Amino acid sequence: MGRVSGKVALVTGAASGIGRACAERLAAEGATVILTDLQDEAGAAVVEAIGAASGSARYLHQDVTDEAGWAQVIASIAAQEGRLDILVNNAGIGLGGSVIEMSLADFRRQMAVNVEGVFLGVKHAIPLMRKSGDGGSIINMSSVAGLKGAASLAGYCASKGAVRLFTKAVALECAAAQDRIRVNSVHPGIIETPIWDTIIGTGGPGANAGPQRAATLDAMANVAAALGHKGQPGDIADGVLWLASEESRYVTGAELVIDGGLTLR
């Protein structure tokens, strides 16, 4: 308990999946967590769950592609919490399909959420992080798809590869400024969350997303991951918690791969 006590954390895309698990883990370890997402009801439910577990959290509606919205979220944190120590740029979408069938609009939408959203988060959060003089930790959610290619995921791979190198460049900029802000990327493998429904088609109308998704991911992970099974959002949240805490104080610009050995071969 208390590994991030007294810290203020912002987690985007926190109404579901990995973001939700990160918000819950950070709150359980003592952080005050600001969750943002497009899904307001689900976001409110996460705040309620964190409160029921004696954690501290509040929810704000945010589209990470909207720069004015970023300014509002950061202004709200400056006014209410007065500081920002941890930013988890987690919100993301996955649009699968053949590259020759993908529309330019879908490609741009994926880049807007997965890359521009991360850029805007970093741009708007760093000035508030610097104000405290205590440094900070920025964690950008990439993917194993940012480390190696995947058929039918060209747009997604492009976006996650961009997050990987963007992270290293910002890490260098912060180090040069000696602001004690560390910037790292996290690379999940096959993790059981709703994002897969738009990649493997398990969430269509009438689809029994839960069981169908679980079975499909089981089969995929059995072949792809050295450990032979899929991961859960909590597996990623544990890594994010470590990067958010002082335990990783000498780590910046790194790639934390949490993939059950998917990238080993």
Report the catalytic residues. 156
Q: Which is nearer to ligand NAD, 139 or 195 (CB)?
A: 195
Among 4, 24, 94, 241, binds ligand NAD (CB under 6 A): 94
Q: Does 88 bind ligand NAD (CB under 6 A)?
A: no
187 φ, ψ (degrees, to nearest 5): -125, 85
Q: Which is nearer to ligand NAD, 106 or 134 (CB)?
A: 106
| Smallest separation (angstroms) from ligand NAD to the CB of 154 | 15
Q: Which is nearer to ligand NAD, 114 or 248 (CB)?
A: 114
Among 190, 225, 237, 257, binds ligand NAD (CB under 6 A): 190
Q: Which is nearer to ligand NAD, 65 or 132 (CB)?
A: 65
Whose CA is closest to 47, among 68, 67, 61?
61
The angle subtended at Cα 80 by Cα 113 and Cα 167, nearest 5°, is 35
DSSP letters, 173-239, are: HHHHHT--EEEEEEEE-SB-SGGGHHHHS-SSTT--HHHHHHHHHHHHHHHH-TTSS-B-HHHHHHH
Among 38, 45, 175, 209, binds ligand NAD (CB under 6 A): 38
Among 39, 132, 152, 263, binds ligand NAD (CB under 6 A): 39
Whether 37 contacts 66, CB under 8 Å: no
**What is the C-alpha separation between 167 and 172, in angstroms, rounded?**
9
Among 44, 56, 63, 234, binds ligand NAD (CB under 6 A): 63
Whether 125 contacts 131, CB under 8 Å: no
Residues β-bridged to residue 255: 185
CA 82 from centroid of its chain's CA atoms? 23
Residue 5, judged by CB atoms within 10 A of its CB (0-12, 13-18, 19+), counts as exposed
Q: Which is nearer to ligand NAD, 82 or 212 (CB)?
A: 212
Q: Does 195 bind ligand NAD (CB under 6 A)?
A: yes
| Smallest separation (angstroms) from ligand NAD to the CB of 93 | 5
Q: Which is nearer to ligand NAD, 5 or 103 (CB)?
A: 103
User: Residue 133 is encoded by which pair of tokens?
Assistant: 């003089």
Q: Does 140 bind ligand NAD (CB under 6 A)?
A: no
Among 46-54, 84-92, 125-133, 245-253, the segment contacting ligand NAD (CB under 6 A): 84-92
Among 137, 143, 216, 248, binds ligand NAD (CB under 6 A): 143
Q: Does 113 bind ligand NAD (CB under 6 A)?
A: yes
Name the strands in the sheet holding 8-12, side by side, starting at the edge strand that comes first in the sequence: 56-61, 32-37, 8-12, 86-89, 136-141, 181-188, 255-258
Directed axis angle between helix 117-132 and helix 67-80, to 10°? Answer: 20
Among 12-20, 98-106, 168-176, 250-258, the segment contacting ligand NAD (CB under 6 A): 12-20
By CB under 6 A, name the binding residues for ligand NAD: 12-13, 15-19, 37-39, 62-65, 90-94, 113, 141, 143, 188, 190-191, 193-195
